[in-house]
Amino acid sequence: MPTAPIDLVAPELAAVLEFFPEIDFRQGVEAFRGNFVANRVQPPLPAELAVVDCRERFIPGPPDAPDLRVLHYTPPGDAAGPRPAVLHIHGGGYVLGIPEINDAGNRAMALALGATIVSVDYRLAPETVWPGALEDCYAALAWMHDNAAELGIDPARIAVSGESAGGGHAAALALHARDLARQSGSGPAICFQLLDAPMLDDRTGSTSDPHPHVGHFVWTPEKNRFGWRSLLGMEPGGPDVPAAAVPARAADVSGLPPTFISVGALDLFLEEDLEFIRRLTRAGVPAELHVTPGAYHGFGMTQGAPQVVQVTELRLKALRRALGL
């Protein structure tokens, strides 16, 4: 008999699946965005995380666009010198999410690294199609770089991180920043990209050969098509999709910053993430990959599971190395 999808899920991760909300984008996105807005009101923070200062700030957006909202996290205490920094980009399939959904994680990262974290509230699709969100993320990166002295950060040690769609935006941002720097010979540089199950390829779930064991939980091929269709403003997977909008379609991945990717073995994005790492290594980019057996998209919600503890520590260790800590 064929193996049932649930039989492939690691036992430590199976129970949480029933708590993931069922999202049916045929109903539109507004009904589901309400859940993310509600998350602005967070339960009381653990005392060890509450010591991290978090400020909402509004910074200049891209030309002809509104000011950009960011959350600015600073660890406690005086720094001996400029701090390293991480630009964080939240997930949500390109159509959902706000920076607050990663509040605890960003506070923990700031505390563990002694780093400044900036999380950007980029414009969502389908109201804003590509390249709107990319321009927002670049505006946040440029603000961090141009105001490094005021912010107390080291402009040579700015990493970018993101999960799911945020990982896709982070990868697109790294490509965009590289291309602008090549054209002008200057501009903000990214020293490292930390990508958690990044959403990199519009052909996954549309025109690519389907993998029989991935995408059964949380983020499915149907949802992926909706997310990419919303971002691109056109049907995904076809030859007319602009390569600049899709990291996996980039013809040249040389010159990108060192990269860390983690992904679950049952995640819809497994093969596109494997392929991106393969291409990076062939282009001479230092790249690290961790695949977690029995793990689906978003398995990090299973706090305390050994798989989550392991991946979290691996991510922090990679960041410490990249930021010279």
Q: What is the pTM of this model?
A: 0.95
Catalytic residues: 164, 267, 297
Cα–Cα distance for residue pair 205/223, rounded to 1 Å: 9
pLDDT for the residue 21: 83
Check: CB of residue 243 under 8 Å from CB of residue 251.
yes
182-205 pLDDT tens trace: 998 888 999 999 999 999 999 999
Q: 36: number of CA atoms within 13 Å, CB side? A: 20
247-268 pLDDT tens trace: 999 999 999 999 999 999 999 9
Domain spans, the chain = 5-320
The two three-digit tokens of residue 127, written as one number: 């109201």
The two three-digit tokens of residue 261, written as one number: 């990717």
pLDDT for the residue 282: 98
Closest by alpha carbon to 139, among 100, 103, 87? Answer: 87
**Owner of token pair 């509004």:** 58
Task: Tell me the pLDDT of the chain averaged across its residues.
Answer: 94
Architecture field, domain 5-320: 3-Layer(aba) Sandwich (3.40)
202-259 pLDDT tens trace: 999 998 888 999 999 999 999 999 999 999 999 999 999 999 999 999 999 999 999 9
Strand residue runs (E) in the chain: 53-59, 68-74, 83-89, 116-120, 153-163, 192-196, 259-264, 287-292
Give the relative orientation of helices 132-146 and 165-184 as an angle to the nearest 10 degrees.
Answer: 60
Cα–Cα distance for residue pair 289/273, rounded to 1 Å: 9
